[in-house]
Amino acid sequence: MINGMIVDKSYQAVTGRKGEIINRAMGVDYSKYERDGIVFDYEALMNDTGYTLEDHIRIQRRYNVGNTPIFELHNLTALARKCAAPGKGARIFVKDEASNPAGSFKERRAAASVYHAKKMGYKGVIAATSGNYGAAVASQAAMQGLKCIIVQECYDSKASGQPEIIEKARKCEALGAEVLQLSVGPELFYEVLMMLEETGYFNASLYSAFGVGGVETLGWELGHQFMERYGRHPDVVVCANAGGGNLTGTARGLKKAGCEARVVAASVDLTGLSMASDEQFNRKSFTTAHTGFGVPYATDPDHSDVPRSAARPLRYMDRYVTIKQGEVFYITEALATLEGMEKGPAGNTSLAAAFSLAQEMDRDQIIVAQETEYTGAGKHIQPQLVFARANGIEMLFGDPQTEVPGVNIVFPAAPSLLKARDAGLDRMRASLIRRQATRATGPITAADVRYLAEETNSGEAYVREVLKKLGY
């Protein structure tokens, strides 16, 4: 009931009210960023939050977020150099985001959302997430005194759940949140809309400008930390890529720090597994930072729980690589056994890529994996591998290139076999251009082309060429 009226809660009725529900649950009217043709004013959306980078830094300091250390990984660097050609093997660093209060960089995304929700008078926040973001929102809500509901996709139809996700449910509850768990399916967003409508809480979307703006502090810190300690900026920063907010925010922050490092996206290769499949849900060992989110969200950012996503990774990506599940588990073990740091596997996606990419770079260069995440029972290499085996996944040592997602996990038979593979950035750019072009109601204009060049971090000539090939 809303204002005494019976509310139709059918799927069609609720999703039909999406625009007004989101408007009320965020105080953002996304329609005002739409321009002529297919153009949408991204910078206006980002600048309209009322929070500058300095504001985000102030809010994060107040709520104990960020300012995480950078560590040089001397032994992993030495191992990479053993695998590389003479003179090759950049210095490998990691930014220890696990030292945030709830254990991941996601708290940078949560801080301003919760702060803003409180300022606007909302009594609580809701977030749809099976990942670290839930713990981050719950932690910030606890600190800032708001109620919190986390909606998780958690179980298959046999009520069997990924140990990593169940651990996150535990953590969210430990931090005072209500955790609503669902079985597999994209109707998660329908449930979230119903909850927003019922509670009147704020939609702490992963894809809001508050959230993505909050990650800018990570890139900004990186730029300044390297300048202060080494008198130079890093050459390459590797960001794990799923929904795109991590890469987008980090890259924007690096630019604001005057750092021109190349930004590389890395996703765990889960090619062939359907993310909406009940039977395949528990045949994967990574529940985030994988291609099942990374590729669709990069090429079509606007299919989340907000009309226009602030996470637009193709705008900032210089390269996109994939890495196999067996390789990320392997580097997780390497980080523990060679560097004395035990961290959660999913947070080491960018580190696995960095270990390989370092071997293409000169010794005097610097590459940074920009995150780690906390580890614990369930969210750890051992229970995740036990779960994989129980779900019929074979484990072997060999060339990880031969790994088939959902069938086996192939650990490198030697460290030199760990290889980041190019994911086909040009193909993704073309895919984004095609998707957006099909939304045009008239001929593609010069303004549309300019917009598509920005959206794909390319040039107008590049966009025109792609459009020509597509028959425009």
Partner 1 sequence: MAKKNDWVRIHRNVLEPEQRTGKLPEDTRKVPLEMWVKGRLQNDSAEIGDEVTITTCVGRAEHGTLIEVNPCYELNYGTFVPEILTMEEQLRAALFGGDEA
In angstroms, the first-to-last Cα distance of the chain is: 49
Residue 383: CB minimum distance to partner 1, A: 4
Stretch that binds partner 1, among 48-56, 171-179, 224-232, 426-434 (CB under 8 A): 171-179
Q: Tell me if 300 contacts partner 1 by CB under 8 A.
A: no
Q: Tell me if 398 contacts partner 1 by CB under 8 A.
A: no
From the list 215, 239, 234, the residue with the least C-alpha distance to 223 is 234
Q: Which of 27, 296, 398, 415 binds partner 1 (CB under 8 A)?
A: 415
Half-sphere exposure for 232 (CA within 13 Å, toward CB) = 9
Q: Tell me if 362 contacts partner 1 by CB under 8 A.
A: no
Taking the least distance from each CB to partner 1, the nearer of 46 and 361 is 361
Which value, to the nearest 10 degrees, does the dihedral of the CA atoms of residues 193, 194, 195, 199 take?
110
From the list 314, 310, 316, the residue with the least C-alpha distance to 425 is 314
Q: Which of 13, 44, 386, 470 binds partner 1 (CB under 8 A)?
A: 386
Q: Which of 96, 107, 167, 221 binds partner 1 (CB under 8 A)?
A: 167
From the list 181, 8, 215, 14, the residue with the least C-alpha distance to 95 is 215
From the list 292, 274, 15, the residue with the least C-alpha distance to 131 is 292
Dist CA 8 CA 440 (whole Å) = 33
From the list 184, 191, 312, the residue with the least C-alpha distance to 247 is 312
Quote the tokens at residue 195: 């909850």
Q: Which of 198, 399, 454, 465 binds partner 1 (CB under 8 A)?
A: 198
Interface pattern 18-47 for partner 1 (x via CB under 8 A): ------------------------------
Q: Tell me if 183 contacts partner 1 by CB under 8 A.
A: yes
Compute the chain's Rg from CA coordinates.
21
Residue 189: CB minimum distance to partner 1, A: 10
Dist CA 75 CA 77 (whole Å) = 5
Name which of residues 110 to 129 contact partner 1 (CB under 8 A): 124
Q: Which of 17, 24, 88, 147 binds partner 1 (CB under 8 A)?
A: 147
Quote the tokens at residue 237: 């920063």
Q: Tell me if 103 contacts partner 1 by CB under 8 A.
A: no
Q: Report the length, in residues, of the chain.
A: 472
Degrees, nearest 5: CA angle 227-231-232: 70
Dist CA 372 CA 352 (whole Å) = 11
Taking the least distance from each CB to partner 1, the nearer of 22 and 192 is 192
Stretch that binds partner 1, among 18-26, 184-192, 220-228, 285-293 (CB under 8 A): 184-192
Q: Tell me if 179 contacts partner 1 by CB under 8 A.
A: yes
Residue 412, CA distances (Å) to 246, 291, 332, 347, 415 in order? 27, 20, 13, 19, 6
Q: Tell me if 199 contacts partner 1 by CB under 8 A.
A: yes
| CB atoms closer than 10 angstroms to residue 223 | 21
Name which of residues 62 to 91 contact partner 1 (CB under 8 A): 75, 78-79, 82-83
Residue 412: CB minimum distance to partner 1, A: 9
Dist CA 3 CA 373 (whole Å) = 43
Residue 277: CB minimum distance to partner 1, A: 4
Q: Tell me if 408 contacts partner 1 by CB under 8 A.
A: no
What is the amino acid identity at position 432? L
Quote the tokens at residue 240: 């794990």
Residue 390: CB minimum distance to partner 1, A: 9
Name which of residues 263 to 282 contact partner 1 (CB under 8 A): 274, 276-279
Residue 187: CB minimum distance to partner 1, A: 5
Taking the least distance from each CB to partner 1, the nearer of 397 and 422 is 397
Residue 385: CB minimum distance to partner 1, A: 5
Q: Is 468 exposed, middle or buried (0-12, 13-18, 19+ CB in 10 A)?
A: exposed
Size of the site for partner 1 (CB under 8 A): 67
Spatial neighbors of 297 by CB under 8 A, at least 6 apart, are 242, 243, 244, 303, 304, 309, 311, 313
Residue 382: CB minimum distance to partner 1, A: 5
Q: Which of 52, 157, 271, 401 binds partner 1 (CB under 8 A)?
A: 157
Residues that bind partner 1 (CB under 8 A): 10-11, 75, 78-79, 82-83, 124, 147-149, 154-155, 157, 159, 163, 166-167, 169-170, 173, 176-187, 190-191, 198-199, 274, 276-279, 329-330, 333-334, 336-338, 376-378, 380-387, 389, 395, 397, 411, 414-416
